[in-house]
Structure 1
Amino acid sequence: MGDTVTVHGQLTGAVVHGAGRGRGLGFPTANVAADPDSRVPPSAIYSGWVVRHSTGAVHRGTISIGSNPTFCDTADVHVEVYCHDTSDEFYGERVGLWFVARIRDTVKFASPDDLVRAARQDVLRSEALLASDRGRRVLTDALAAYERTFSA
């Protein structure tokens, strides 16, 4: 596994329907259409927090940004988040993704099974990063920003 790189920032957007491939692989994802003013980080796998704007609920997440190279079906960059602690569907909801750290590059795997094995490791690494001091600081920042923005 590559070195973990710290990432700063937040991305906001609406949850939209995707191809449904993640659910079939055992990793259902929320596909996020980034707001035009959100800075989308470079393609990679990240650890981060998901804040649901409608409720303020916060979820632990592993975020994939990239073109899904294992399936080679598009060159478009997608933002997808696997929430570790809920299977709720967020379609139509607005969310904020708060990035804790970059886990690894997005790569093309030889098979979907290889991708699933890597995703399991990504989630374990993400959990450790979210539990770290940095992960907790980012969570505190996310909650404070939510309170400033949505509790008026």
Structure 2
Amino acid sequence: MPETSGSGAPAARPHLTGTVVHGAGRGHGLGFPTANIAAGPDSPVPPAAVYSGWVVRHRTGAVHPATISVGSNPTFCDTAEVHVEAYCHDLAEDVYGEPVTVWFAERLRDTVKFPSPAALVRAVREDVRRSEAVLASDHGRRVRDDALAAHRSTITAP
């Protein structure tokens, strides 16, 4: 992926904008509370997978490192509907109803059905570890910087 456009501006990065909504609450019960994001009508949802990225809260401008799941929760087989769920590594407060933008840094793995919730938890722990490494890398920091620049441009635009 190129890092800059022909004009020298930051490259367009995959992202989606939406609102944090209530989900099934399963992530909290598994030890990984997620922000379930209802993508806006003009925000394309990426293919089902687990990603590393950043969540930008529009109201506060805070940027949170995240491990993001896009998929239908196949381990629980309760829906065919695709969900976007972000586990923010450093966020403990309630963000329901908040508009956010999710910036995708790297695809970590396919979405798969696990034989048990315990096996899923083990995989999520590894996903979070890998996500933290990606976000600490030069590439991960560039994605964060682009996310911040994009957010700032929306609040300073006339």
What TM-score, normalized to structure 1?
0.94
Alignment of 1:1-152 (within 5 A): 8-152=13-157
Tell me, in whole angstroms, the C-alpha distance in 1 between the residues paired with 2:68 and 2:100. Answer: 13
How far did 1:88 drift? 1.3
Deviations, residues 95-137 of structure 1 (Å, cap 9, x unaligned): 0000000000000000000000000000000000001111011
Larger Rg: 2
Tell me which amino acid in the other structure corresponds to 1:118. A
Tell me which amino acid in the other structure corresponds to 1:139. R
Tell me which amino acid in the other structure corresponds to 1:11. L
For structure 1, which runs of at least 5 residues remain unmatched after alignment?
1-7
User: Structure 1 residue runs of 4+, over 4 Å off?
Assistant: none
What percent identity do the matched residue pairs reach? 71
Q: How many residues align?
A: 146
How far did 1:151 drift? 3.0
Deviations, residues 65-97 of structure 1 (Å, cap 9, x unaligned): 000000000000000000001111110000000
Higher relative contact order (CA 8 A, sep 6+): 1
Tell me, in whole angstroms, the C-alpha distance in 2 between the residues paired with 1:123 and 1:18. Answer: 20
What TM-score, normalized to structure 2?
0.90
For structure 2, which runs of at least 5 residues remain unmatched after alignment?
1-12
Deviations, residues 27-81 of structure 1 (Å, cap 9, x unaligned): 0000000001001100000000000000100100000000000000000000000
Tell me, in whole angstroms, the C-alpha distance in 1 between the residues paired with 2:45 and 2:155. Answer: 23
